[in-house]
């Protein structure tokens, strides 16, 4: 399977978690493995696209032919994405970006003393929404990992972040989504909704990229 459907397209995507430092030895993060984003990067390169992958800390090999930029925090991810955005015409936000970061990162290791402690957090920038508002406009695709009311929240994000497409997955289903090799997606754009049933992430990546190409061609 490698029809060169995406020849001439330049895809920028984010993958994996972000890591938000607390002090020099600690951080907050999440369970994203980066597998879906890396599968998309691999599939897109096979389909003829030029691919730039901005990756958070993950334990995955770079797919053949893909340009990879490694970052740690959400702010670094935003900076890397915005430095690349003008060279691309498609953006897929697949990373599980931490919603909050530590307000003031301690310069030295925090010592234990009190029985309780509080960490002040501040909102991270929304990378996907920032790209969606950028001119000249890229075709922007988001992911929505939900545990309930998947369609309602996915449609809400499509609208609020002004996306062209959103791929929703129900991460409450055992064996699918976060850290798993398989996934299932429901893909929404303003007019339609398509179900991509459970399969391995590479097959799903090819199906999602085919939908993106169809939508771009129809524009």
DSSP string, 16-32: SB--EEEETTEEE----
* Residue 40 or 97 having the CB closest to ligand C5P: 97
Return d(Cα 82, Cα 149) in angstroms, integer: 32
Evaluate whether 20 touches 60 at the Cβ level (below 8 Å): no
Q: Does 37 bind ligand C5P (CB under 6 A)?
A: no
Q: Which residues are catalytic?
A: 30
144 binds ligand C5P (CB under 6 A): yes
Q: Is 125 annotated as a binding residue?
A: yes
- 96/64 Cα distance (integer angstroms): 23
State which H helix or E strand residue 101 sits in. strand 100-102
Q: Which is nearer to ligand C5P, 43 or 127 (CB)?
A: 127
Whole-angstrom CA distances from 81 to 112, 126, 130, 165, 209 are 37, 12, 10, 19, 20
Residue labelled with tokens 């890397």: 80
Q: Which is nearer to ligand C5P, 109 or 160 (CB)?
A: 160
Q: Is 55 a residue that touches ligand C5P (CB under 6 A)?
A: no
Determine the interface stretch with ligand C5P among 27-35, 43-51, 91-99, 206-214 (rule: CB under 6 A).
Answer: 91-99
Residues in contact with ligand C5P by CB under 6 A are 14, 74, 93-95, 97, 124, 126-128, 142-144, 157
Annotated binding site for CTP: 93-95, 99, 109, 125-128, 143, 157, 161
């Amino acid at each position: 399977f490698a029809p060169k459907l995406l020849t001439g397209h330049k895809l920028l995507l984010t993958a994996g978690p972000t890591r938000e430092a607390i002090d020099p030895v600690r951080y907050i993060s999440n369970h994203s493995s980066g597998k879906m984003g890396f599968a998309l990067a691999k599939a897109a390169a096979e389909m003829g696209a030029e691919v730039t992958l901005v990756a958070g800390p993950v334990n995955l090999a770079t797919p053949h032919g893909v340009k990879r930029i490694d970052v740690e925090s959400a702010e670094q991810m935003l900076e890397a994405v915005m430095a690349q955005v003008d060279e691309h015409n498609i953006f897929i936000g697949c990373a599980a970006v931490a919603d909050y970061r530590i307000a003031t990162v301690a310069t030295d290791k925090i010592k234990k003393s009190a029985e309780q402690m509080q960490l002040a957090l501040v909102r991270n920038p929304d990378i996907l929404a920032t790209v969606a508002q950028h001119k000249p406009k890229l075709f922007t695709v988001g992911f929505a990992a939900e545990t309930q009311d998947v369609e309602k929240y996915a449609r809400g994000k499509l609208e609020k972040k002004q996306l062209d497409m959103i791929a929703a997955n129900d991460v409450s289903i055992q064996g699918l989504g976060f850290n798993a090799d398989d996934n299932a997606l429901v893909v929404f754009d303003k007019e339609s909704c398509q179900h991509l049933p459970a399969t391995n992430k590479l097959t799903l990546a090819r199906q999602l990229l085919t939908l993106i190409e169809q939508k771009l061609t129809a524009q």
